[in-house]
A and B are shown apart, each in its own frame.
Chain A
Amino acid sequence: MSFEEKGIWLYLVMAIVLPIVYVLWILGQTASVPIVEIDYQVPLLLSIGAAIGLSILGMIAIGIASPDDAGKADQRDKDINRLGEYVGGLVLAFGMIAPFGLAMVEMPQFWIANAMYAVFIVAAICGATVKLVLYRRGF
């Protein structure tokens, strides 16, 4: 498995695990506070920050574990990355219709912000999945 592919696996795991942690935290709060009154801002930002930080640390760890492959991205890696980003971008573009609609009907900010977060996550998962399928199946 190439360095780039390992990085995508890491990115995919982060894109799944950290939102789950965030959602569990939100659900934990609902026992004492109505959901739209939860102070979600800091945990949401922490979830995004942790995903970025842990991905960087993970890539450094992967690079240390296999230094010969570290940072090597060839034409195939770039082609796969481009296709994956294209799919992720499409999902993001169409997905943003949902929070846009929520804003138009003046839903609470909690739902709009979390809908945007959900769309980012779904787009990241879709993009990473497409890349991994292309690595495995070819194109």
Chain B
Amino acid sequence: MVKPTRVANDIRKLRFANGEMTQADLADRLGVTRQTVIAIEQGRYSPSLEMAFQIAQVFDVPLDEVFRYADPQT
């Protein structure tokens, strides 16, 4: 069975820091469904590199302030 992604993120924190942006608002800005934003936030789906940059652009922060890769040893 496929395991959920090891890519962790701070999207939830960034949404609240950006005027309590809703998942639906973020989804609209990215052109994806709200379910996809939820899946990314919960680490159940790794976005493409392009979408990752788009997310960082929405929050106006560098990519590594949104995503980080969990240590494979942990």
- Tell me how many residues of B have a C-beta within 8 Å of chain A: 18
> If the complex has contacts A138-B44, A138-B45, are A74 and B32 also in contact, measured as CB distance less than 8 A?
yes
Residues of B close to A75: CB separation below 8 A: 32, 36, 47-48, 51
In the complex, A104 has a CB within 8 A of chain B: no
> If the complex has contacts A5-B35, A76-B32, are A139 and B51 also in contact, measured as CB distance less than 8 A?
no
Does more than half of chain A's interface fall in helix, strand or loop, or is it mixed? helix
Question: What residue of chain A has the Cβ atom nearest to residue B4's Cβ?
Answer: A138
Residues of B close to A135: CB separation below 8 A: 35
Residues of B close to A133: CB separation below 8 A: 1
In the complex, A39 has a CB within 8 A of chain B: no
Count contacts between A and B, CB distance < 8 Å. 46
Q: Is the CB of B33 within 8 A of A69?
A: yes
In the complex, A24 has a CB within 8 A of chain B: no
> If the complex has contacts A69-B33, A74-B36, are A137 and B2 also in contact, measured as CB distance less than 8 A?
yes
How many whole Å from B4's CB to the nearest CB in chain A?
4
In the complex, A77 has a CB within 8 A of chain B: yes
How many whole Å from A131's CB to the nearest CB in chain B?
12
Q: Is the CB of B4 within 8 A of A1?
A: no
Within 8 A of B (CB), among A84-117: none
In the complex, A26 has a CB within 8 A of chain B: no
Q: Is the CB of B39 within 8 A of A138?
A: yes
> If the complex has contacts A1-B35, A138-B39, are A76 and B45 also in contact, measured as CB distance less than 8 A?
yes
Q: Is the CB of A2 within 8 A of B35?
A: yes
Q: Is the CB of A138 within 8 A of B42?
A: yes
The 3 closest A-B pairs by CB, nearest first: A138-B44, A74-B32, A138-B4
Q: List 24 A-B contacts (CB under 8 A).
A: A69-B33, A72-B33, A74-B36, A75-B32, A75-B47, A75-B48, A75-B51, A76-B32, A76-B36, A76-B39, A77-B36, A133-B1, A134-B2, A135-B35, A137-B2, A138-B2, A138-B5, A138-B39, A138-B42, A138-B45, A139-B2, A139-B3, A139-B4, A139-B5
